[in-house]
């Protein structure tokens, strides 16, 4: 304690408030309801009654101050309305099906004020059904929280969700809450439907059905991330591919050619697979066959039809020794072929049989194979086709046959993946 001038400066151990500036006796109590400032003034005279009064005052202040230190925490409140809090969802949703894509969802939790935090809680609620999962803890609010889509009784239902964070503070007059943006739980693949028109299509450049329209309809509440349409050749090798991000255009038009410019084979089916993925990694597939008509190519005055899809048993021209499915397929092709040949009634038809050489790597043996096996075999097959067409109403007199064996391959016999295209029947149409 120090005296001098007009004021007395005093320090009183009062909570954690530091002594104030000299010149006045200033008691600042930071907490309500003792936040008033009291100033005591004197004239510096040391008279007894005044001195006693001053001592008494100081004593009272001391008592009040000590009491205030003890009682203040029980009545003081934290103004929680001014605390900024945030729960931020880190993606658009989750698909908890253990496929490695979006199987859980993360939230970032934030509060401006970490001190005085008593407890926290995050409730994840389906917008229709209600709360499915609750996370909670004490003072230590995690920065991130991950939900695997599980509720108490198994996987939570699909649908739209929000997460609500609630924070309770020591001395908080009320709790603080924050709500996330909506997000979706979705484990259902997109609905996919493919339709084709015209069927069959006929890309032979005559202006009739030369292109096919492929319509891909998709639907998914999470939105479509990407799509792929693969068209395979009859041996199931990739022939053509279309793909894109987002929802596909309603339809696309295909001219029947591969990326390398190769045209589809006449009278054959090309498997089509449409794969569609939603934004949460759920995949769906739809399959369809792209049937190709008997194609007729004009070459000057001549017309040419090439068919590699008539099935014969190995080393045989006997149609009857194949499966029921193959027989049915052959029947369709031959019927369609007869229909077309009838349209060109004034043309004579040369039916050429072509075969696949197996010993292509050994010229001497290949030559022997061609002469002794493939020539008679391809001739016999051309004859079998002629008989079938006769049965379907084509006049026998218009048709002649020839066996060409392995003499005119379309692709090298060494191309094992594609050499099947050499096993074919060609129809050369010339005006009579």
- Binding interface with Ca ion (CB under 5 A): 95, 97, 99, 101-103, 186, 188, 220, 222, 278, 281-282
CB of 244 to Ca ion, least distance (A): 18
147 vs 239, which CB is nearer to Ca ion?
A: 147
CA gap 49, 84 in Å, rounded: 55
Beta carbon of residue 190, minimum distance to Ca ion (angstroms, whole number) = 6
Taking the least distance from each CB to Ca ion, the nearer of 90 and 197 is: 90
C-alpha to C-alpha distance for 248 and 215, rounded to whole angstroms: 9
Question: Which residue, 92 or 327, is less far from Ca ion as judged by CB?
Answer: 92
CA 109, 115, 120 angle in degrees (round to 5)? 40
Shortest Cβ 99–Ca ion spacing (Å)? 4
| CA–CA distance, 322 with 305 (Å, rounded to integer) | 24
Distance CA 308, CA 407 (A): 16
Distance between CA 432 and CA 429 in Å, rounded? 9
Q: 228 near 192, Cβ under 8 Å? A: no
Read off the tokens for 241.
């591919």
Range list of β-strands (E), 69-116:
85-89, 93-94, 105-111
Decide if 183 contacts 90 (C-beta within 8 A). no
Q: By C-beta, is 102 or 204 nearer to Ca ion?
A: 102
Nearer to Ca ion, 97 or 311 (CB): 97
CB of residue 74 to Ca ion, shortest distance in Å: 52
Of 286, 228, 235, 238, which is closest to residue 258 (Cα–Cα)? 238
Containing 183, the helix (H) or strand (E) segment is strand 183-185
Q: How far is the CB of 96 from Ca ion (least distance, A)?
A: 6
Angle at 360 between CA 356 and CA 366, to 5 degrees: 90
**Which region, left, alpha or beta, applies to residue 326 given φ > 0 means left and ψ of -120 to 50 means alpha?**
alpha
C-alpha span between 248 and 218 (Å, rounded)? 8
Q: Which is nearer to Ca ion, 203 or 281 (CB)?
A: 281
Helices (H), 301-361: 324-343
Tokens encoding 293: 């008509």
Comparison of 97 and 327: residue with beta carbon closer to Ca ion: 97
Cβ at position 216, least distance to Ca ion in Å: 16
């Amino acid at each position: 304690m120090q005296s001098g001038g007009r004021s007395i400066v005093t320090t009183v151990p009062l909570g954690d408030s530091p002594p104030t500036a000299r010149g006045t006796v200033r008691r600042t109590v930071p907490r309500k309801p003792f936040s008033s400032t009291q100033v005591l003034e004197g004239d510096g005279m040391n008279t007894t009654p005044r001195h006693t009064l001053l001592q008494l005052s100081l004593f009272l202040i001391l008592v009040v101050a000590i009491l205030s230190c003890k009682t203040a925490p029980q009545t003081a409140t934290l103004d929680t309305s001014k605390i900024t809090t945030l729960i931020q969802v880190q993606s658009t949703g989750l698909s908890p099906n253990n496929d490695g894509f979006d199987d859980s969802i993360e939230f970032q939790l934030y509060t401006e004020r970490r001190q005085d935090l008593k407890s926290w809680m995050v409730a994840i609620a389906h917008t229709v059904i209600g709360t499915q999962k609750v996370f909670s803890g004490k003072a230590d609010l995690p920065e991130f929280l991950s939900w695997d889509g599980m509720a108490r009784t198994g996987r939570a239902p699909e649908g739209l969700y929000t997460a609500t964070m609630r924070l309770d503070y020591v001395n908080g007059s009320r709790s603080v809450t924050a709500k996330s943006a909506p997000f979706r739980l979705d484990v259902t693949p997109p609905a996919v439907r493919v339709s084709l028109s015209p069927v069959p299509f006929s890309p032979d450049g005559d202006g009739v059905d030369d292109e096919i329209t492929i319509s891909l309809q998709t639907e998914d509440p999470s939105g479509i991330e990407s799509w792929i349409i693969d068209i395979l050749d009859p041996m199931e090798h990739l022939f053509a591919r279309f793909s894109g991000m987002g929802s596909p255009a309603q339809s696309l038009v295909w001219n029947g050619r591969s990326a390398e410019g190769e045209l589809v084979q006449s009278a054959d089916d090309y498997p089509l697979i449409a794969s569609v993925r939603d934004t949460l990694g759920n995949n769906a597939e739809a399959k369809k066959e792209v049937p190709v008509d008997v194609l007729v190519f004009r070459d000057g005055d001549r017309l040419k039809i090439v068919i590699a899809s008539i099935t014969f048993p190995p080393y045989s021209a006997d149609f009857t020794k194949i499966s029921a499915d193959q027989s049915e397929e052959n029947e369709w092709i031959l019927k369609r072929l007869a229909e077309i040949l009838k349209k060109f009634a004034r043309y004579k038809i040369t039916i050429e049989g072509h075969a696949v050489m197996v010993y292509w790597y050994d010229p001497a043996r290949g030559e022997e194979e061609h002469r002794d096996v493939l020539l008679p075999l391809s001739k016999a097959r051309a004859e079998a086709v002629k008989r079938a067409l006769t049965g379907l109403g084509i006049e026998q007199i218009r048709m002649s046959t020839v066996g060409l064996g392995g003499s005119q391959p379309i692709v090298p016999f060494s191309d094992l993946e594609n050499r099947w295209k050499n096993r074919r029947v060609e129809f050369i149409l010339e005006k009579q």
